[in-house]
Amino acid sequence: MSKILDTTPRADGFRMPAEWEPHIGCWMLWPERSDNWRGGAKPAQHAFAAVAAAIAQGEPVTVCVSPAQYLVARAMLDPTVRVVEMTSNDSWIRDCGPTFLVNDQGAVRGVDWKFNAWGGLAGGLYFPWDQDDLVGEKVIELERDDRYAPDFILEGGSIDVDGEGAVLVTEECLLNPNRNPDKTRIEIEQLLRDYLGVEAVLWLEHGVYLDETDGHVDNMCRFVAPGEVILTWTDDPTDPQYPRSTAALERLSRYRDARGRPLRVHKLVQPKPVVITPEEAAGVDHVAGTLPREPGDRMAASYVNFYIANTVVVAPSFDDPQDGPALELLAQLFPTRRILAVPAREILLGGGNIHCITQQEPLGRGPAATARPG
């Protein structure tokens, strides 16, 4: 069993590194539930396999899969991808998985947050979520790392750090009473400082319009370098995303990071609205307790939901005229990495995107770092 630490990362000198810092690899979960993924999850499985293969060009990938799906996943995934059996309720490891931390000596530890499927019985997306809640602990234990286990509900997609003391979050999510109703804003800020090793908590009001996570920041605004963020954007004042993005820009232009730097904001224009077709909606099983999918529903499509691997950036594409400009901007912002686009509609139809289905593990310099090739 991984050792549970009753101190805090901050007290122990640990911090969450930025996503662009070196990784030992990336973790994913395999989709299979037919009440979230259409067509018995088969189209989503192909999309997840494409994401895994793209990331595997830049770092080792591990995909965790249920016993029932092991052979299917093994056959569909690139041979370089490691497949391990693990039970889960769905496949959003960004949110139910661990947050990995490092210290200056290169040791790695994990934070095993509490998970309630984005709101529990007050607006959560499915029931139960008990197996998802075990994923963080299981992954940390597989890596033989020690873990912190705060009594705090938090999803990895609701935070984004620069590795130099700043974290981006949204009020829509972290202050939502369906997460930690007993905690004040001040207490939540302190928990972020203590468990991520940050100083500056940069609050945006909202995430992306109709994001079913209650506004995860990883779909809205991310750090791309120290002192630089990328923000999903529209110039159309009639689009409901417009007031959200303009309000975020206003706050970002006032903020300073933990080192006192103003933030340079890169606008990443969103694709045209992506709505569910009747055929797509009909392919999803209706199950009480799971958020239904209706024809005409708009999904929270954003290019901001990309994954930064060691030598590549894997970004969603939507078969939209904005795909090209979005990928070009990412290429400018990550000049040492190849930008790989993966068609992401099938992932989006499940409620998230590429960043939501991935979780990086930092390289560190401890036993895990030397146990297998990087």
Q: Which residues are catalytic?
A: 356
Which residues of this chain interact with ligand KQY, rule CB under 6 A? 36, 92, 94-95, 125, 157, 212-213, 216, 291, 350-352, 356
Comparing CB distances to ligand KQY, the nearer of 179 and 216 is 216
Comparing CB distances to ligand KQY, the nearer of 330 and 356 is 356
Q: Which residues of 38-53 are buried (b: 16+ CB within 10 A; e: fewer)?
A: beebbbbbebbbbbbb
For 201, residues 6+ apart whose C-beta sits below 8 A from its C-beta are: 166, 167, 169, 189, 192, 193
Which amino acid is located at 336 in the chain? T
Q: How far is the CB of 237 from ligand KQY (least distance, A)?
A: 26
Instruction: For residues 79 and 135, give the distance between their C-alpha atoms in angstroms, rounded to a whole number.
Output: 23
Q: How far is the CB of 300 from ligand KQY (least distance, A)?
A: 8
Comparing CB distances to ligand KQY, the nearer of 62 and 358 is 358
Nearest to 218 by CA among 308, 111, 125, 91: 308
Q: How far is the CB of 336 from ligand KQY (least distance, A)?
A: 27
Name the residue with the smallest CB distance to ligand KQY: 352
Comparing CB distances to ligand KQY, the nearer of 164 and 212 is 212
Contact in structure between 354 and 343 (CB atoms under 8 Å)? no
Residue 228, classed as helix, strand or coil, is strand
Query: At 307, which helix (H) or strand (E)?
Result: strand 307-308
CA dihedral angle for residue 47, residue 59, residue 168, residue 165, rounded to 10 degrees: 170
Dihedral angle sign, alpha carbons of residues 267, 322, 46, 331: negative
Instruction: For residues 16 and 169, give the distance between their C-alpha atoms in angstroms, rounded to a whole number.
Output: 14
Instruction: Give whole-number Cα distances, 122 to 128, 179, 239, 262, in Å.
Output: 13, 9, 28, 37
Comparing CB distances to ligand KQY, the nearer of 81 and 349 is 349
Q: How far is the CB of 163 from ligand KQY (least distance, A)?
A: 21
Comparing CB distances to ligand KQY, the nearer of 95 and 143 is 95
Q: How far is the CB of 186 from ligand KQY (least distance, A)?
A: 26
Nearest to 308 by CA among 351, 348, 338, 344: 338
Q: How far is the CB of 125 from ligand KQY (least distance, A)?
A: 4
Nearest to 268 by CA among 206, 312, 224: 224
Instruction: Give whole-number Cα distances, 317 to 57, 64, 192, 274, in Å.
Output: 18, 24, 32, 12
Comparing CB distances to ligand KQY, the nearer of 14 and 37 is 37
Q: How far is the CB of 305 from ligand KQY (least distance, A)?
A: 8
Nearest to 204 by CA among 158, 163, 239, 259: 158
